[in-house]
Amino acid sequence: MYLIKLLEELFDITVTKIQIFSYDSLILSIIISEQADYFNEVEAENYKLELFYKSTKRLNDKQLEQIKLILLSCATTFTNITINDITYLLNNIINNDSIEQTLNNTIKKLTEEQDIYSAGLYYLNNKLMQLRGLIYYSNNKTTMDSINFKKEIVELNKRSEFSDIIFFEQIKEINSLNNHLFPFKNYGIGIYTKNGPIGLLVISTKDNNITHINNLLNIYSKILSITFTVKSLIQRYKFAVDDLEFFKNNLFYNNNLINLGKLTATIAHELKNPLVSIGGFTNRVLKLNKDEKLNGYLNIIKNEVNRMENLINDLLLYSKAIKLDISEVNVLSLVEEATTILYEKIREKDVDVQINIKRDETLKIDKNKILQVLLNLINNSLDALCNETNNTIKINLETNTNFKILEIIDNGCGIPKSDIAKLFTPFYTTKESGTGLGLPICKKIMEAHDGDIKIFSDNNQTKIQLFFKRGEL
């Protein structure tokens, strides 16, 4: 702690213990060791200050007077936030409340401190470079103020008091706040986690003690940082427990599924050879036969053989472990290749395909596997289009902190909510000619790339997102 370092450097002592009492209540205790050569006690106003230290000689009266001023200054910074307050706030973090409720309790507690009129927490939107009002409390206690604060937006694309606080980690007086919400002297401090800045804490106060203000903001900013970090860890822990429970309950099922996959592959291989023969002979008879009625029957056989071959190919692909051949692939070229292959169907349905991808964007992927995914998804979008005119498919590439996201959006009939959860279930299909393995195979390919696939839909639009880790680029 800076206080101990200051005392040791000024007076050539080794501090082993410091305790500060206010009205006989302990408000600060720092114990490094129980061993000490000397002990001094200083009383001033409502404080009693105890100092234990090692030294070659006892401190003289002049030095004690100086230490009294230093310790008294430190004590006044703890006047309004006691150990009980901190304990309450930390205990609040680890209970079962939501993160929103915990943040609300912390900001509300801050406004109960002496001379603090109001406090607000802004949340940082890194993508838009904006601070947005999240939680606000004041002694005025009007609901409308809290609603108005949530409409507050602070742009950070130019240097300002706010950007200095956030990005240069300063505690600073702010002169450009809403005077109704923050009517007195206003100060701000950044909120940080290990991933960087996440928000800004602002207070409006009548207090002129800068040391006290700095300490108060430091303490509450740390508590808010702990809140974000701990609540995130608790949520991840709950997800992990749920996953573990699911795995434990489905272990027997999963083992059977592995055996089923091996059996499926064996059966598929045994069926494929006779189907190839049937298809080949059917094509030869079609070329030789002149009877139209018989040709009609032969075409039915040919189509059914093709459908069975597609199902078997999908079964073989789904039952095998996916091996990737990774290379750096231009995303725009890959998407254009997929739309070229499907050109006839796109032209037939008069679809406007809009591609919004920069020419220099690349992904490290297995080109053929991801091409297969794109063909399947774009083909599904084409099948879903139900408008007589203005049929559109948009293909975009978005980027966030962790992923590059390839989006396929169509303005078709949409997917019922009851069906979306089943789309990745093997053999589930809403198409008459579908195998029910297209989307499960897409998911398996994406997971092999350490990515993911998500589907969102309503009555007017379906959006499919393919997530590729930025670390793999």
Q: Please write the tens of the pLDDT for every residue from 303-355.
A: 666 666 666 666 666 656 678 889 999 999 999 988 888 888 888 888 899 99
Asked whether the predicted pLDDT for residue 126 surpasses 90, the reply is no
In a domain, 246, yes or no: no
DSSP string, 40-71: EEEEETTEEEEEEEE-SS---HHHHHHHHHHH
Q: Are 95 and 206 part of one and the same domain? A: yes
- Same domain for 296 and 348, yes or no, is no
How many domains does the chain divide into?
A: 4
Q: Which two tokens stand for residue 47?
A: 């404080």
With bands split at pLDDT 50, 70 and 90, how would you rate the model's confidence at 268? low
pLDDT at residue 435 in the model: 64
DSSP string, 363-409: EEEEHHHHHHHHHHHHHHHHHH---SS-EEEEEEEEE-SSEEEEEEE
89 and 208 part of one domain? yes
| pLDDT surpasses 80 at 387 | no
| Residues 270 and 229 placed together within one structural domain of the fold | no
Does residue 39 have a pLDDT over 50?
A: yes
Least confident of 220-229, 289-298, 451-460: 289-298
Residue 157 has pLDDT above 80, yes or no: yes
* 243 domain residue, yes or no: no
Closest C-alpha to 324, from 102, 165, 143, 472:
472
Q: What is the pLDDT of residue 232?
A: 65
| pLDDT for the residue 93 | 60
Q: Which amino acid is at 421?
A: A
**Statement: residue 86 has pLDDT above 70:** no
Decide if 16 is inside a domain. Answer: yes
Per-state percent for the chain, helix, strand, coil, to nearest 5: 45, 25, 25
Each as own residue / partner, the long-range contacts of residues 340-344 (CB below 8 Å, 24 or more positions apart, any chain) are 341/375, 342/375, 342/378, 342/379, 342/382
Where does residue 68 rank: exposed (0-12), middle (13-18), buried (19+ CB within 10 A)? middle
Model confidence band, residue 470 (pLDDT cutoffs 50, 70, 90): confident
Same domain assignment for residues 39 and 184: no
DSSP states along 290-356: --HHHHHHHHHHHHHHHHHHHHHHHHHHHHSPP---EEEEEHHHHHHHHHHHTHHHHHHTTEEEEEE
Predicted confidence (pLDDT) at residue 248 exceeds the cutoff of 60: no
Buried b (16+ CB within 10 A) or exposed e, 234-265: eeeeeeeeeeeeeeeeeeeeeeeeeeeeeebb
Segment 452-463, tens digit of pLDDT: 999 888 777 889
Tokens standing for residue 194: 């290990």
Provide the pLDDT confidence category of residue 394 given band limits of 50, 70 and 90: very high
Which pLDDT belongs to residue 305? Answer: 67
233 and 87 share one domain: yes
Q: Six-digit token pair at 185?
A: 């002297």
Tell me if 244 is assigned to some domain. no
Last residue within a domain, chosen from 204, 237, 270: 237
Q: What is the pLDDT of residue 444?
A: 87
pLDDT of residue 250: 52
Task: For residues 304 and 282, state if they share a domain.
Answer: yes
pLDDT at 242 over 80: no
Question: Residue 99 has which token pair?
Answer: 């993160």
User: Does pLDDT of 25 surpass 70?
Assistant: no
Query: What does the CA dihedral 301, 307, 310, 316 come to, rounded to 10 degrees?
Result: -90
Better-predicted residue by pLDDT, 345 or 241: 345
Is the CA virtual torsion 371, 376, 381, 386 positive or negative? Answer: positive
Based on the domain organization, do 301 and 348 belong to the same domain?
no
Mean pLDDT of the chain: 77
For 187, residues 6+ apart whose C-beta sits below 8 A from its C-beta are: 171, 172, 173, 174, 202, 203, 205, 213, 217
C-alpha dihedral sign at 1, 207, 84, 65? positive
pLDDT at residue 400 in the model: 84
Among 76, 103, 126, identify where a domain stops.
76
Q: How confident is the model at residue 120 (pLDDT cuts 50, 70, 90)?
A: very high
Indicate the range of 57-61, 74-78, 314-318, 416-420 predicted with least confidence.
74-78
What is the model's pLDDT at position 274? 59
Q: Are 48 and 41 in contact (CB under 8 A)?
A: yes
With beta carbons less than 8 A apart as the criterion, state whether 85 and 106 touch.
Answer: no
Mean predicted confidence (pLDDT) in 151-160: 87
pLDDT, average across residues 119-131? 87
Shared domain for 404 and 440, answered yes or no, is: yes
DSSP assignments along 116-133, one per residue: EEEEEEEEEETTTTEEEE
Q: Are 203 and 217 spatial neighbours (Cβ–Cβ below 8 Å)? A: yes
Do 289 and 298 touch, CB atoms closer than 8 A? yes
Instruction: Answer for the pair 74, 86: CB distance below 8 angstroms, yes or no.
Output: no
Q: Which residues does 393 contact at the CB level (< 8 Å), separation at least 6?
A: 351, 352, 353, 354, 378, 381, 382, 385, 408, 409, 410
pLDDT value at 206 more than 90: no
Provide the token pair at 7. 């005392």
Question: What is the predicted pLDDT for the residue at 225?
Answer: 80
- Contact criterion met (CB below 8 Å) for 124 and 166: yes
Tell me which residue of 50, 67, 49, 71 sits closest to 59, measured CA to CA: 67
d(CA 106, CA 99): 11
- pLDDT of residue 202 exceeding 90, the answer is yes
155-159 CB contacts, 8 Å cutoff, 24+ apart: 155/129, 155/130, 156/124, 156/129, 156/130, 156/131, 157/129
For residue 251, the model assigns a pLDDT of 47
pLDDT at 253: 46
Phi, psi of 31 (to 5 degrees): -115, 115
User: At 464, phi and psi to the nearest 5?
Assistant: -115, 130
Based on the fold, state whether residues 403 and 369 are members of the same structural domain: yes
54 falls in which pLDDT band (50, 70, 90)? very high
What pLDDT is attached to residue 88?
60
Give yes or no for residue 395 having a pLDDT over 90: yes
Interval 24-33 mean pLDDT? 70
Q: What CATH number did the domain enclosing 395 receive?
A: 3.30.565.10
- pLDDT, residue 193, reads 79
The verdict on 92 and 202 lying in the same domain is yes
Domain boundary, last residue among 283, 304, 319: 319
pLDDT at residue 203 is higher than 90: yes
Mean pLDDT of 188-196: 85
Higher-confidence residue of 49 and 350: namely: 350
CATH of the domain at 172: 3.30.450.40
What is the residue range of 468's domain? Answer: 326-472
- Provide the pLDDT for residue 404: 92
Residue 409: which pLDDT band, with cuts at 50, 70 and 90? very high
Q: Are 200 and 306 part of one and the same domain? A: no
Q: Do the Cβ atoms of 392 and 453 come closer than 8 Å?
A: no
State the pLDDT confidence band at 473, using cuts at 50, 70 and 90. very low
Strand positions, DSSP E, 66-111: none
Q: Tell me the average pLDDT across 385-394.
A: 83
Average pLDDT on 104-108 reads 87
Q: What is the structure's pLDDT at 159?
A: 86
